[in-house]
Amino acid sequence: MISPFRLLPGAVRAVLTASASAWLTACVTSVPMDKAAAPARQVEPPATSTRSAPSPKPTYGSFGVDTAGMDLSVAPGDNFYRYVNGTWSQKTEIPADRSNSGMFTKLSEEASRRTRELIEEAARTDAPAGSEVRKLGDLFASFMDEAAIEARGLSPLEPELQRITAIANRRELAAALGDTLRADVDALNTGNVTTDRLFGLWVSEDLNEPSRYAAYLFQGGLGLPDRDYYLEDNAKLAEIRQKYQQHLAAMLRLAGSADAEARAHRIFELERKIAQAHWTQVETQDITKSNNPWPRDQFARRAPGLDWEAYFGAAGLGPQREFIVWQPSALTGIAKLAGSEPLQTWKDYLTFHAIARAAPFLPKAFVEESFAFNGRVLSGAQQQRERWKRGVDVASEAMGEAIGKRYVEKYFPPEARAEADKMVRNIIAALGQHIDALAWMTPETKARAKEKLTTLQVSIGHPAKWRDYSGLEISRGDAYGNAWRASRFEYQRNLDKLGKPVDRSEWFMVPQVVNALNSPQQNSIIFPAAILQPPFFDPNADPAVNYGGIGTVIGHEIVHSFDDVGAQFDARGKLANWWTKEDAARFKAAGEALVAQYSAYRPLPDLALNGELTLGENIADVAGVSISYDAYKRSLGGRPAPVLEGFSGDQRFFLGFAQIWRNKYREPLLRRLLLTDGHSPGEFRAAAVRNLEGWYQAFSVAPGQALYLAPEQRVRIW
């Protein structure tokens, strides 16, 4: 979950977050930024200065780096991020319809534009009714038909609202809550571990036996992003809480509810009680603590208050005899509230969340109120994104692989796949050499680590087989109905996995997403087609820049198999300890040092980085850069790298790495991600270089400079 890393449903650790394409770069850090001016570009020039720029010209600069975006007045050793990206940061304005702007968002916008063209081509074709192409075109056209949506008003949602109004007892309440269950959480995807539904379902390989699927239940029920938004004594969060209650009332009024303010207050107080039962983000990442198999017949005893038979029956889980409960005390606490809080309060709660989920497909007033809170207040965006962009998101959510199939045909040349595969193999080999050279690891643990590395499954560009959408019903002119049926279709697809052999070829992302992932339970890594573009990968760029870009992303995903979470899974994807006691202690100590290093960063005046929450991603960043750097050096075959525009090969590698984390975020979204996401902001991801000896040598970083770490303070894990 390039998650920032951990993303879509499925056991993943990705580079970006679910809510954003990349992390903030214009942050206030505890590291001083106003030290002496930078040295000349080439600190210690190599003996040779041959080779002209590649031809044809790379997308960025003459060798793959936008040198015009650098700030050469800053010393690399004082603030490497600003040295590489300072001028870009000063000149870049975040678009009014976005909460962030950077390299990931730039590529995501381009992928959206391409996707729109593919969808509109589908909409123009005279394909037969029921065909995949026709469904795709009708789906998009239905969302784009604002006049039809306005004319239908609230009527598409009325049957659901009437069913909620008719709830007469706790058993019917449990059934109504169960009917909302969806497979919309992911245990190994920070940023996607809670849901606004009472609970979330995750269908994935069983932690204890990866040859079979398990049904996991997660805490949920919140309308705000995380428990801290309800419970923390913080002025900013208190303001958000007040605005959330105003939003609750506004949505209820739009739907014609009487006494909206009182109902909004009751809903908020119920959610606050749910939040009190929730585990923290850090607790949720403790896989051993979260591995709790519960037999179906013990739910009533372990979590009384909710009629579990009615709940599971309405959720389509009647035949399922066992679940893995991720946060047991949260499940117990929430179930108790289902039995103790007034029935009318629960009906108000269900009503609001039904309206909120439907809002994008309802008349303009609902869309605008939803954006006013979720866009402006929670994320900081100034204006609503164009409708076609939202339509692309809707289509990708409902029929992502149908679009991906067409995206790959048009935009993913075989040469890109071949080059990426070559780099992957080279970087895997580099990690193997690192493992062999580890002085702190015993031969026994090394052998297990090498076994896991050699069985790593790599997928590049697109899945081997495409998803079948023949069972999905799409009706032109029914925007809300299409979204509802697509949600049910995806939910049923996940339910259908239960009791069947595990499909280890399943993809958890679509090819047109700008991201990458690692699945510890499959011991696999995936690189979608859309990320294999500049600045990550450019066939015309200098190899050093490509290794600094896509190479470090590849290294990051490989290392996720060996981070604080991945290291708990063996080569089969089973949650199992393959470490000696001594090696595990050394690994933990190195992780604690990295926690301390990142916890010292303060992106906002009142909010520091959570080094525990971001540990896995920081391990993957630090080690990923290290192995990609060594892979780049190996790729030279012993030959010296040329100097290009005064930059050595090593310098270009690190410039390419820092360039991909070029990002700016609005404060509300930055705050949200700091509280909920497992990825460090971009500026601090670029600071991973502080732990690499090669960076110190490349830029002559010396004691006294802000980023300098004494050799014994540099964290070396892999």
Question: Domain 158-361 belongs to what architecture?
Answer: Orthogonal Bundle (1.10)
Joined together, the tokens standing for residue 614 give 């971001």
Question: Are residues 663 and 100 in contact, defined by beta-carbon separation less than 8 angstroms?
Answer: yes
Output the pLDDT for position 28. Answer: 27
Residue 131 contacts by C-beta under 8 Å, 6 or more apart in sequence? none
Output the pLDDT for position 183. Answer: 95
pTM of the model: 0.90
Residues of the chain with pLDDT under 70: 1-13, 15-55, 189-193
Judged on CB neighbours under 10 Å (0-12, 13-18, 19+), 253 is: middle
Question: Are residues 180 and 197 in contact, defined by beta-carbon separation less than 8 angstroms?
Answer: yes
Output the pLDDT for position 501. Answer: 93
Instruction: Measure Cα distances from 318 to 171, 309, 351, 365 in Å.
Output: 15, 8, 25, 39
Question: Domain 13-107+413-460+507-713 belongs to what architecture?
Answer: 3-Layer(aba) Sandwich (3.40)
Judged on CB neighbours under 10 Å (0-12, 13-18, 19+), 313 is: middle
pLDDT tens digits along 157-203: 999 999 999 999 999 999 999 999 999 998 876 456 679 999 999 99
Output the pLDDT for position 56. Answer: 82
The residue extents of the domains of the chain are 13-107+413-460+507-713, 158-361
